[in-house]
């Protein structure tokens, strides 16, 4: 594997899941693999889980780690070719990415969408320029349209808990006071399709995802009906794709509550975190024995470790 920016970079996802489960069983088994190599973690946006779990994964493989908050400590990067840089950008991506490649053997990048310019966001304007001008492998730590490390984690967690060969997995929109990216939802569908899950999506009208990611996944606009017989409820808020980056209405009745979970097949509750309690999900659901959120967060380390292992080898 050269880069890891989407499921399309993965030759065999079941092998990658198995690599992650092997790493979980024995995290330090390959702690010489990355000896003398350096992982660079570049953040244009905040993070708790991605930052710490990817750092831990690299340490488990014997790598050194350097982290930089690009929005706070880096020179402001210019991404336009031919720009006359006489305003507030101080360093061009051409030099920036090439220079970071001198110090790092793998570069991880987190770069959220603008949520104002759909064309630019969905072209992965920033991630693709890092890929173009870096000379070492790139790992997405969440880009404008995808969060593949999260999706791999989610698949691992489902594999650990599924009771049938093809469980019913429902991606449910939930309310949130701020406009959030579509990346986690996009990516989740992409990985669930690739893993041949029985996946469906439920959201209020107007929150349809990009056709590139929604594909032929069934949509049910009645949330409780969608939950019937589900084995996994994966919850996430996202802003509108069609009315790009907008919150259309608060829809507080879409919060995940015990009465909705009651119509499922004793479904597990999943969320990538961070989550706003009693807005996205009721305490009684996230604190229930069916909640997998902490196990998911734990699996972030082993997902990252499997990805780094495959890149290093
Ligand atoms: N789930 C996730 O990516 O968490 P962070 O934003 O804290 O990294």
Q: Which helix (H) or strand (E) holds 173?
A: strand 168-173
- From the CA of 272, give the closest atom in ligand 1: 1
Supply the CATH number for residue 168's domain.
3.40.50.1370
Question: For residue range 195-204, what is the model confidence (pLDDT) as tens digits?
Answer: 999 999 999 9
Give me the number of domains the chain comprises: 2
- From the CB of 310, is ligand 1 less than 6 Å away? no
Mean pLDDT of 283-293: 98
CA of residue 293 to ligand 1 center, whole Å: 12
262 and 306, same domain (yes or no): no
- From the CB of 297, is ligand 1 less than 6 Å away? no
The model scores a pTM over 0.95: yes
**Residue 224 belongs to what domain range?**
150-297
CA of residue 85 to ligand 1 center, whole Å: 33
Question: For residue range 152-185, what is the model confidence (pLDDT) as tens digits?
Answer: 999 999 999 999 999 999 999 999 999 999 999 9
pLDDT-derived band of residue 250, with 50, 70 and 90 as boundaries? confident
Question: Rounded distance, CA 211 to CA 35, Å?
Answer: 43
Q: Which helix (H) or strand (E) holds 169?
A: strand 168-173
pLDDT-derived band of residue 223, with 50, 70 and 90 as boundaries? very high
Burial of 229 (0-12, 13-18, 19+ CB in 10 A): exposed
pLDDT exceeds 90 at position 249: no
Question: For residue range 71-129, what is the model confidence (pLDDT) as tens digits?
Answer: 899 999 999 999 999 999 999 999 999 999 999 999 999 999 999 999 999 999 999 99
* Residue at 2 is within a domain: no
198 and 267, same domain (yes or no): yes
Atom 1 of ligand 1, residue of closest alpha carbon? 272
117 and 167, same domain (yes or no): no
- From the CB of 273, is ligand 1 less than 6 Å away? yes
Burial of 150 (0-12, 13-18, 19+ CB in 10 A): buried
Question: Rounded distance, CA 81 to CA 94, Å?
Answer: 9
């Amino acid at each position: 594997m050269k880069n890891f920016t989407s499921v399309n970079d993965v030759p065999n996802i079941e092998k990658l899941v198995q690599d992650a489960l092997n790493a979980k069983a024995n995290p330090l088994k390959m702690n010489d693999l990355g000896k003398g190599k350096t992982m660079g973690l570049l953040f244009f946006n905040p993070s708790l889980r991605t930052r710490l779990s990817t750092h831990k994964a690299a340490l488990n493989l014997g790598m050194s780690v350097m982290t930089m908050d690009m929005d706070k400590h880096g020179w402001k990067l210019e991404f336009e070719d031919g720009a006359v840089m006489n305003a507030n950008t101080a360093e061009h991506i051409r030099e920036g990415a090439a220079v970071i490649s001198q110090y790092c053997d793998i570069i991880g990048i987190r770069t959220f969408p603008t949520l104002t310019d759909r064309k630019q966001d969905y072209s992965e304007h920033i991630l693709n320029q890092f890929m173009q001008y870096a000379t070492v492998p790139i790992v997405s730590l969440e880009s404008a349209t995808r969060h593949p490390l999260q999706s791999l984690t989610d698949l691992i967690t489902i594999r650990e808990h599924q009771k049938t060969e093809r469980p019913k997995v429902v991606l449910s929109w939930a309310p949130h006071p701020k406009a959030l990216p579509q990346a986690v939802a996009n990516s989740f569908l992409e990985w669930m399709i690739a893993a041949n899950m029985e996946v469906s999506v439920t959201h209020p009208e107007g929150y349809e995802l990009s056709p590139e990611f929604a594909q032929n996944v069934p949509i049910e606009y009645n949330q409780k009906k969608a939950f019937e017989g589900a084995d996994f409820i994966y919850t996430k808020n996202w802003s509108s794709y069609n009315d790009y980056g907008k919150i259309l209405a608060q829809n507080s009745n879409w919060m995940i509550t015990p009465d909705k979970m009651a119509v499922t097949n004793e479904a597990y509750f999943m969320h990538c975190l961070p989550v706003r309690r009693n807005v996205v999900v009721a305490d009684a659901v996230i604190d229930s024995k069916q909640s997998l959120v902490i196990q998911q967060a734990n699996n972030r380390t082993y997902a990252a470790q499997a990805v780094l292992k495959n890149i290093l080898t």
